[in-house]
Amino acid sequence: MPHEAVNETLYTIAATAKGGRAGHVTSEDGAVDLPLGKPGSKANPRANPESLFAAGFAACFGNALNSIARHQGLDTTESTVTAKVTLGKTDTGVGLAVELEALVPGVDEDTAQALIAAAHQACPYSKATAGNIDVTVTGRAV
């Protein structure tokens, strides 16, 4: 997918992390103000870059799905999107992979599949990751 330049700003936000994975992250508007921890800590679970990326991707994909459905006169606001982000070893170091699963109530299976495919084409996170990391998209009508 070719690079698309932003030619009109809709929203800009900055976040600052201090201390890496064991540090703290804050957004300039104060909406995000979290201690961070290394992935996999069961005793003291904390947000980490992968959990924040998963949350952002799931929300963005869900918004794309709802927007496309709304333009077709459909209400998919009860849909859920789960983003499973994997941090793992690659041939050249460490990388990411994402599995997205969308569950779309109130529509038939063909409509759900069409909405999911269209959302993957429209979602800014999908566009940003295209060709850069493995992203698998599945879903169904429920």
Residues 82 and 104: beta-carbon distance below 8 Å: no
pLDDT of residue 1: 55
Closest C-alpha among 69, 78, 25 to residue 47 = 25
Counting other chains too, the contacts that 38-47 makes at CB distance below 8 Å and 24 or more residues apart are 39/87
| Fold category of 49-141 in CATH | GMP Synthetase; Chain A, domain 3 (3.30.300)
To the question of pTM greater than 0.85 for the whole model, the response is: yes
Q: What is the pLDDT of residue 76?
A: 97
Query: In whole angstroms, how far apart are CA 119 and each of 2, 47, 66, 105, 109?
Result: 18, 26, 8, 15, 15
37 contacts 47 by C-beta, under 8 angstroms: yes
Which of 135, 133, 142, 136 lies closest to 106 in space, CA to CA? 142
Q: Provide CATH 3.30.300.20 ranges for the chain.
A: 49-141
Residue-wise pLDDT for 38-55, tens only, equals 887 777 889 999 999 999
User: What is the CATH number assigned to the segment(s) 1-47?
Assistant: 2.20.25.10
Segments of the chain with pLDDT less than 50: none
Domain with CATH 2.20.25.10 in the chain: 1-47
Task: Specify whether the CB–CB gap between 83 and 99 falls below 8 A.
Answer: yes
